Amino acid sequence: MSSSRSEAYYPHAGQSARPHQLQKRPHPVARRAGTARDYILGHAGHQVRLGPVAFWVVIGTLVIMAAWTVATGTYFAFREDVLTRLIGRQAEMQFAYEDRVAELRGQIDRLTGRQMLDQEKFDQKLDQLLRRQSALEQRASSMTSIADPAITGSIKTPPRGQSVDIPLTAPKPSPISNKVIFTSPPDREARLESRTPANRATQVTEKPKGLEAMLARVQTSLDRIENSQVAALNSMEESYDAKARRIRGVLSELGLNGGKVPSVLVGSGTGGPFIPVKPRNDVGNFERQLYRINAARAHVDSLNRTLANVPVRKPLTGEIDTSSGFGVRMDPFINAPAMHSGLDIRGSVGDPVRATAAGKVAQAGWNGGYGKLVEIDHGNGLATRYGHLSEFNVTVGQNVRIGQTIGRVGSTGRSTGPHLHYETRVEGDAVDPQKFLRAGIRLGSL
């Protein structure tokens, strides 16, 4: 068996190698060394010793692998259905991958569209709140034009140069991000690997819920302001209506018609073109109510100007202390029944006597039993007289205002002591001044 193998030639020490002998050294050969059953594989000075069993195991394995490769190739070459299934399998995996990608793109588009819709809704809500705030500011400005210090609840306007700032912090919506990162779930057909860790599978930018809560708080605040304005308007309207009713009631008790009594102060001048005021049909409830309030306020102002010409105030300061009333009494000089046409009000010499209503001096001088007398014409048939004065400081034709001092208490004329003789006349006839003074007390609470 050793004779059939080719052996490599290795020269012994001390011997020189021949040229034809050295050419055989680079080719590795297997030779028996040591024992007759061992195989030695050598190459470039390296040797591997294999036993016969190991050698034939290696040879057998190589033969089996070559046979398996040839058999498998031959099988697939002659079985086209197997190749078709493999190709179909690859196509299905590719289609599944593309479908998954398309599905994820659709999800991204839906999320982006939803965010844009939420953004649009948020902007619409914010715009509505801003418009409502502007409307409330205009309402507040309109309400401040109604001069009624007794009514509270309206929004005060700031000094010029500053704007009304209802606590509306106009929040800016966060920008919408189109970057959405998904990690797909396990799939037999196609597996997509995410670039993000599993615990951050989906990252979607959403609008903070705090903005919705802030808009709700602003909406609630604006509702409170609007309700406060409506309540203030209702209170104003009721207040003006109540004042008008009471003034008309007082004038009716005095025998005066509030609609016919002139509302122009005696001696004052007013005028201008007549421009009727009519409410528009396309306005809201607030504008209609504001029109009613302005009309009621104008009516109350007219009645107040009418009252300025009605003698309902006291001619002397302090409490009224009468020494003799209106009507039939015993004359203090002849002790016989006589008609007393006014009130005798106690006072000290020199106490100021004041006009009880605006008007024009019709008489100022000595007048028989009245002594020094001042008579004031208040218009509409109303007049007042102030007698027994120690002095007077007005002249005939002079316009006097309410509460103006026209003279001093005295005891001139037919008088037993210092006092003021006060008369109220309607169409020249003397009437009880107490009725007008009581009306003034009632009107004092308005």
Q: What CATH number is associated with residue 424?
A: 2.70.70.10
Q: How many domains does the chain have?
A: 3
Rg (CA), the chain: 59
Sheet order of strands, 39-43 included:
30-31, 39-43, 46-50
Same domain, 327 and 438: yes
Is residue 164 included in any domain, yes or no?
Answer: no
Return the structure tokens found at 63: 């033969």
The whole-model pTM stands at: 0.52
Cα three-residue angle 438-442-446, rounded to 5 degrees: 150
Residue 26 CB burial class (10 angstroms; 0-12, 13-18, ≥19): exposed
Same domain, 304 and 327: no
Q: For residue 403, give its domain range.
A: 322-443
Q: Residue-wise over 282-321: b if at least 16 C-beta within 10 A, else e?
A: eeeebeebbebbbebbebbebbebbbbbbbbbbbbeeeee
Same domain, 268 and 363: no
Is residue 346 included in any domain, yes or no?
Answer: yes
Is residue 383 included in any domain, yes or no?
Answer: yes
Is residue 36 included in any domain, yes or no?
Answer: yes
Q: Residue-wise over 121-134: b if at least 16 C-beta within 10 A, else e?
A: ebeebbeebeebbe
Is 423:385 a contact under the CB 8 Å cutoff?
yes
Pairing state of beta strands 419-426 and 429-431? antiparallel
Diameter of the chain by CA atoms?
193
Cα three-residue angle 290-236-403, rounded to 5 degrees: 115
Beta strand ranges found along 293-358 (DSSP E): 322-324, 327-330, 337-340, 343-346, 352-354
User: Averaged in consecutive runs of 10 residues, what is the pLDDT profile of the chain (446 residues)?
Assistant: 42 47 47 59 77 85 91 74 78 88 88 80 77 75 60 38 40 41 41 42 48 76 81 85 86 73 55 70 75 85 86 90 90 89 93 94 94 93 94 94 94 93 93 90 72
**According to the model, what pLDDT value does residue 263 have?**
52
Same domain, 338 and 249: no
Is residue 198 included in any domain, yes or no?
Answer: no
Q: How far apart are CA 108 and CA 10, in angstroms?
A: 77
Beta strand ranges found along 134-174 (DSSP E): none
Same domain, 246 and 357: no
Is 436:310 a contact under the CB 8 Å cutoff?
yes
Q: How far apart are CA 264 and CA 258, in angstroms?
A: 12
Is residue 23 included in any domain, yes or no?
Answer: yes
Same domain, 276 and 345: no
Same domain, 376 and 434: yes
User: Which residues are bridge partners to 391 per DSSP?
Assistant: 408
Residue at which a domain ends, from 262, 286, 308: 308
**According to the model, what pLDDT value does residue 362 have?**
95
